[in-house]
Amino acid sequence: MSARDRTPPTGAWHGARDPSSVTPPPGGPVDGNPWPTVAPAGALRRTLTALRHDPPAVAGTVVLLVLLVVGLAGQWLAPAGINDVDVDRMLRPPSGAHPFGTDELGRDVLSRVLVAARVSLQVGLVSVGIALAVGVTVGLLAGWYGGWADTVLMRGMDVLFAFPVLLLAVAIVAVLGPGLVTAMVAIGVVYTPIFARVTRAGVLAVREQVFVRAAVSIGTSDLRILRRHVLPNVAAPLIVQTSLSLAFAILSEAALSFLGLGVQPPAPAWGRMLYDGRGFVTDAWWLGVFPGAAIFLTVLAFNLVGDALRDVLDPRRLTLGEARRSIR
């Protein structure tokens, strides 16, 4: 059977005699398709303009930029070595020489907090990248083809989604063994069903649109339709979900490290530093306060940016004034 004889998705192109006879939108066809994909430059510009008018989003972006710089250059910004042990200066409170104090082995807490930022960012980005790649692929296939593919793929996602996040991550780490790579894989697997569900929901709505029906009717391949028409139109909720999942991935990494299943000593990690300072809560409060504050600020910044992106990218939440500003 040729590509032109394929049956479009359910409800596709009812009553249309010839898709080529339909008048394309202003600007003309692109690559032979009468319904070209909207250029992302204008949408990106409007999004950045709207974010600049949102003070919480600006504050969150500034914090994330600072965190990115610290993550990339933490080992050069650290005033001391992260594993320089000196029992003569153990458990010293914050001072000019040690702004965040020292731990039970005399190591500089500020240096360890700065270097640990790279670990948290690495785990967050890699694990969410894994979840995004696998989840989007599963969601696209399930939503586009439907039938048994949808049933098998999404029931598998439902099985993963049924487990509590931390419990499933702990189980995966217990099987594969503790470590940085294992933590990234475990967190990526845990958050894959979320991206699969978001993607599938978007595909089910987009595949019934006229431009998708027309592309199917003229024999465009499934891969091209998914890449050029479907995926760009489900990108907005995926961007929002990515920003929010980064925050939860960092929290999950901190929880695994606190349990001793994430980054292994002597490498610093915020969750591990919280675990090491749990026995010194009354005598050395700084051991838990500063790593905890780093986790708090990072997660808060991602949530602020994610909430702002959700408001900007969802046209139903725009007020009249915001809508007018977005088209200027």
* Number of independent structural domains in the chain: 1
Average pLDDT, the chain: 83
Per-residue pLDDT, 18: 40
Provide, rounded to the nearest whole percent, the portion of the chain with pLDDT above 70: 81
Closest by CA to 235, choosing from 227, 223, 244, is: 227
- Pairwise pLDDT comparison (169 vs 54), residue with the higher score: 169
Per-residue pLDDT, 315: 53
Q: Which tokens go with 63?
A: 């914090």
Helix (H, G, I), strand (E, B) or coil at 108: strand
Residue 154 lies in a domain: yes
- Pairwise pLDDT comparison (304 vs 5), residue with the higher score: 304
Residue for token digits 């977005």? 326
Average pLDDT rounded to a whole number, residues 79-91: 89
Residue 234 lies in a domain: yes
> CATH code at 220?
1.10.3720.10
Determine the structural domain holding residue 139 and report its residue range.
54-317
Q: How much is the pTM?
A: 0.79
Query: How would residue 279 be classed by pLDDT, with cut points 50, 70 and 90?
Result: confident
Residue 199 lies in a domain: yes
Q: Which tokens go with 120?
A: 């948290």
Q: Is the peptide bond before 266 cis (omega within 30 degrees of 0)?
A: yes
Query: How would residue 314 be classed by pLDDT, with cut points 50, 70 and 90?
Result: low
Query: How would residue 308 be classed by pLDDT, with cut points 50, 70 and 90?
Result: confident
Residue 34 lies in a domain: no
Helices (H), the chain: 40-52, 55-77, 109-145, 147-162, 165-176, 180-206, 210-217, 222-225, 231-233, 235-258, 270-276, 286-313, 320-326
Question: Cβ neighbours of residue 110 under 8 Å, at least 6 residues apart?
Answer: 78, 79, 80, 98, 99, 100, 290
Per-residue pLDDT, 42: 57
Residue 284 lies in a domain: yes
Structural Rg of the chain based on CA atoms: 25
Is 328's pLDDT higher than 90?
Answer: no
For 109-158, the pLDDT digits (tens) are: 999 999 999 999 999 999 999 999 999 999 999 999 989 999 999 999 99
Residue 13 lies in a domain: no
Residue 236 lies in a domain: yes
Residue 322 lies in a domain: no
